[in-house]
Structures are given as structure tokens and as C-alpha cells.
Amino acid sequence: MYNRLYDHFGSQDWWPADTPFEIMVGAILTQNTNWQNVEKAIANLKAAGLLSFAAMSILPVEELAGYIRPAGYYNIKAVRLQNFFALIEQQWDGDLEYFLDQPAAVLREQLLSVKGIGPETADSMVLYAAEKPIFVVDTYTHRILSRHGIIPEEYGYFEIQELIMDNLEEDTRFFNEYHALLVRAGKHFCKKSKPKCGQCPLSGVGGITDCTQTNGYD
């Protein structure tokens, strides 16, 4: 699947950000919204010269919410960002680099302890900001793998992650690209209600050429 997607789409060059801090902010902002909205929020923060831990961590929550408004759920996300900043400030003395230098499993556990950071957000930070090998699972991964009969429909986040990490080489660059390619395939071809199997590079994988004919179709 990886080879087919890579041959079709090429490198996705993720994550689109200038610094690890920007990646981590983007990972929280992208919850329940599309990337275009996140870009607007990030642009607001950049234009105001605020896209750094030192600047953002001391912003009052209402002010922070105003800058990230385009990302949607801005009041909730402002609180989530502040929860994350509090972890870095209180436990790591504001040293993001030192925080990111921890082993992936420890880093992940600490991120998951922050209210508002779930597995997908935490793993995105571990993979893209800390550049440590962990596979990020999302809706597209679940949909594509289940439609091709690789996982049962009822598999959850950790079951999918374990299956992939137990069977594929743990390599940061590879996991980075694979996740990005699955997102691209999900957005362009494997749509929830109208999959375009006829044009999709994954057509035929696992003997599935038209997922509307399988149980995996939702």
C-alpha cells in the first residue's frame, strides 16, 4: 500500500511547519477541523509575533482564543493549549527541546496526561515534532485498512497502531510519510460516502477493487 501511494502521490513532506513548537500548536488546533482553518490561525499568531512558547504561554486565555478563532472550537482549544504549556512550564521549566528529547513512550505518556490531548494528537507530536518513530492512526487509516479487510471494522486506535508497529519497520521517516500518504488517499479517493475506487492507486489491494461491494463500506 505504501509503495502504491508513494508512487502515485510522491513525498508529502509533512509536517508543514517551521519549528517543533509550531507543529505541536498545529496538532492541537487541527482537532475537529480542516487544515486550511489551522493555517489561518497559525498565520494570525505569526503576524502578531506570538508563535513561540515564551510568547504564547503568557497570553491570557481570552486573547489566545481570539488569535486562534479561525481553527474553530477556539475557547476549548485555547484552554487545551494552555494545559499543554502548563506541562512544559511546570515540569520542564519551559524547555521544549529537553521535553522532546525524552524516549517516545515517556513523552507520549506525559502528553496523554494533558487534558485535551488524545492519542492522535500526542502521537502526531511524538512523530512530527520529536521525530521519534510512532505510527499515527486516524479516521482515514481506519477506513482504508478496514475497507481492504486488513483490520476488522471494530478495531480501535491502539489495536491498529499495534498491528502496524508490530509488522512494519519502526522508522520515523517511513511512519511520517505513510501517515501523510494515507491522509492524502483518504481525502482524495477513500471518501466516507462516495469512495472513488476506480481511480484509486489502492484498488486491488487485498483483492478489493470496489469497496462498495464489501462489508467495509460505510
The residue ranges that bind ligand SF4 (CB under 6 A) are 144, 147-148, 185, 189-190, 195-197, 200, 202-203, 208, 211
**Rounded distance between C-alpha atoms, residue 166 and residue 110, angstroms:** 23
Between 93 and 154, name the residue whose CB sits nearer to ligand SF4.
Answer: 154
Between 72 and 149, name the residue whose CB sits nearer to ligand SF4.
Answer: 149
**Rounded distance between C-alpha atoms, residue 121 and residue 112, angstroms:** 9
Nearest distance from C-beta of residue 211 to ligand SF4, angstroms: 3
Please state, in angstroms and as integers, the Cα–Cα distance from residue 87 to each residue in 18, 26, 27, 53, 184, following that order.
22, 17, 16, 12, 32
Q: In 10 A of CB 98, how many CB atoms?
A: 11
Nearest distance from C-beta of residue 135 to ligand SF4, angstroms: 18
Between 44 and 209, name the residue whose CB sits nearer to ligand SF4.
Answer: 209
Between 49 and 207, name the residue whose CB sits nearer to ligand SF4.
Answer: 207
User: Is the bond leading into 14 cis (omega within 30 degrees of zero)?
Assistant: no
Nearest distance from C-beta of residue 147 to ligand SF4, angstroms: 4
Nearest distance from C-beta of residue 132 to ligand SF4, angstroms: 28
**3-class SS at 8?**
helix
Cell of 116: 485535551
Between 111 and 144, name the residue whose CB sits nearer to ligand SF4.
Answer: 144
Nearest distance from C-beta of residue 88 to ligand SF4, angstroms: 38
Q: In 10 A of CB 45, how many CB atoms?
A: 20
Ramachandran area for residue 210 (φ above 0: left; ψ -120 to 50: alpha; else beta): beta
Nearest distance from C-beta of residue 22 to ligand SF4, angstroms: 30
Between 26 and 186, name the residue whose CB sits nearer to ligand SF4.
Answer: 186
